[in-house]
Amino acid sequence: MIQIAFQSSRQGWIQEFTVKGHAGYDEPGKDIVCAAVSAVVQTAVIGLTDVAGVHPEHTQHKGLLHCALPDDMSKEQKKAAGVILQTMLAGLQSIQSGYPDLIFIEERMVD
């Protein structure tokens, strides 16, 4: 199962997220669910850096990606990052609706 955890501020801004695990839909390299999740998440990270100009702290290992936004973003960067990450969440929720037993999404509010 792929587990995705979002941490958002009380204002609703996603501050960080973690994606871990494997869907197990098919063998590695042929798993369309893992590929879909990976494509959505990787596109969001690229969007943060290349489009929004945000340089998040992120680590990536096989079956794990963690991304945390920096505290020193401009107002424009926060807005762009918010749109990118909300779009990522919507895409992941869409994939989850098709494969509810393979993806778990958790959203937490933090101070």
Compare 30 and 110 and report the one with higher pLDDT.
Answer: 30
Quote the number of domains for the chain: 1
Q: What is the mean pLDDT of residues 95-100?
A: 97
pLDDT over 80 (residue 75) = yes
What is the predicted pLDDT for the residue at 28?
Answer: 85
Query: Under a CB-based contact definition with an 8 Å cutoff, are residues 108 and 5 in contact?
Result: yes
Note down the domain range covering 20: 2-109
Average pLDDT of the residues of the chain: 95
What CATH number should be reported for the domain holding residue 29? 3.30.70.1490
* pTM, entire model: 0.93
Q: Which residue has the tokens 């587990």?
A: 3
Burial of 92 (C-beta count, 10 Å sphere; 0-12/13-18/19+)? buried
Residue 109 pairs in a beta bridge with 8
Host H or E run for residue 60: strand 57-61
Nearest to 15 by CA among 93, 86, 75: 86
